[in-house]
Structure 1
Amino acid sequence: MSIHIRPALKNDCSLILSFIKGLADYEKLSHEVIATEQLLEDTLFSEQPRAHVFIAELDGEAAGFALYFYNYSTFLAKPGIYLEDLFVLPKYRGNKIGKALLVHLAKTAVEEGCGRFEWSVLDWNQPAIDFYRAMGAVGMDEWTVQRVSGEQLEQLANTKI
């Protein structure tokens, strides 16, 4: 079996959306998906893309994806890669596709002079946590993720100072 990792193309938006929906279903978050093919095209394939996608293929068949974007470490004074989503279709799991995507992203980070490569994982997803630890990831247990979205984001943006 042959794994090939390639950058996504504009005509992959339908495929990317299907991976996003598959991930959301796995994470029991399907009700939160509002992404559309058009929104993906607008944000991933504009003149200034907001994120980037690699597609993993196994023997020529699309098997998974990784969506990432660049962040910045002030302490390192270097960019970093933040992996937003990694998903492999259930029928292709166990074929080292997730590992291939992580290795490809790590190579990308090194080639681009990034100081780190990071991501979040749901605390109940023990198989993923175990997989990431086996790949050398270190849990940042002393950090908690904070988020403002939806109506709260609108309220914060409209707060009078």
Structure 2
Amino acid sequence: MQKEMEPIQDEFKILPATRDDMQKVYDLIVELAEYEKLRHMVIGDVKDMEKWAFGEDPVVFINCGWLNGNIIAYSLHFRNYSTFLCKPGIYLEDIYVQPQYRGRGYGKKMLLFLSKLCYEKGYGRMEWQVLKWNKPSIDFYESLGAEPLNEWLQYRLVGDSLKKCAENFDQLK
């Protein structure tokens, strides 16, 4: 039996994060990592986030979902660029709603907020990842018309492999 969705309440609002919000956002990042069984990968801290969100060269944008004076959700994104479209886009790194507030439309409102931002700025697309086992999220994204990119593999350099590549470049003549 499908869970009946409760309507969005008027008290829910989406606002850009401030420095004062960073500890709560960080706590929600840890909650998300625990849900995804990836807590061991969270090695940064609030100061790191503040640097990249509010420092001299901001690279991330964070929005907070507020309900009755409390942050219950967040999204974190940055701009990317498509050489095929010749347009910028949004890469959604995280979107998270605390479990006790799911099923009320808050996550949908957060995602549609970013979709509108992307569209109104004339960007070409919005992209994100989801873990293969996270069926509720996959179903949610597909219900909005999002499509999986089954033909693409993602690669990552991090830690020692990133360091090794950087050092290899320095050794080139």
Matched, 1:85 2:94: yes
1:69 maps to which of 70, 78, 94: 78
The TM-score, its normalising length taken from structure 2, stands at 0.90
2:128 maps to a residue whose letter is: W
1:38 maps to a residue whose letter is: K
Any runs of at least 4 consecutive aligned residues in structure 1 with deviations exceeding 2 A, and if so which?
Answer: 58-61
Question: Structure 2 matches for 1:20-59, cutoff 5 A?
Answer: 20-59=29-68
1:53 maps to a residue whose letter is: I
Q: Identify the range of structure 1 (56-65 vs 85-94) with the bigger mean alpha-carbon deviation.
A: 56-65
Aligned to 2:5: none
Secondary structure at the counterpart of residue 144 of structure 1: coil
Deviation, 1:46, is 1.1
Cα RMSD, aligned residues only: 0.9
Secondary structure at the counterpart of residue 81 of structure 2: strand
1:121 maps to which of 111, 125, 130: 130
Matched, 1:103 2:115: no
**Mapped contact 1:17–1:35 kept (Cα < 8 A):** no
The TM-score, its normalising length taken from structure 1, stands at 0.97
Deviation, 1:47, is 2.8
For 1:105 and 1:57, the matched residues in 2 are separated by 16
> Of the two, which has the highest radius of gyration?
2
Q: After superposition, what is the alpha-carbon deviation per residue over 1:29-51, rounded to whole angstroms, capped at 9, x for unaligned? A: 11111121111111111132110
Matched, 1:143 2:152: yes
Residue ranges of structure 2 left out of the alignment (5+ in a row): 1-8
For 1:131 and 1:59, the matched residues in 2 are separated by 25
Residue ranges of structure 1 left out of the alignment (5+ in a row): none
For 2:36 and 2:89, the matched residues in 1 are separated by 25
Q: After superposition, what is the alpha-carbon deviation per residue over 1:88-134, rounded to whole angstroms, capped at 9, x for unaligned? A: 10111111111011000001101211000010111111111000000
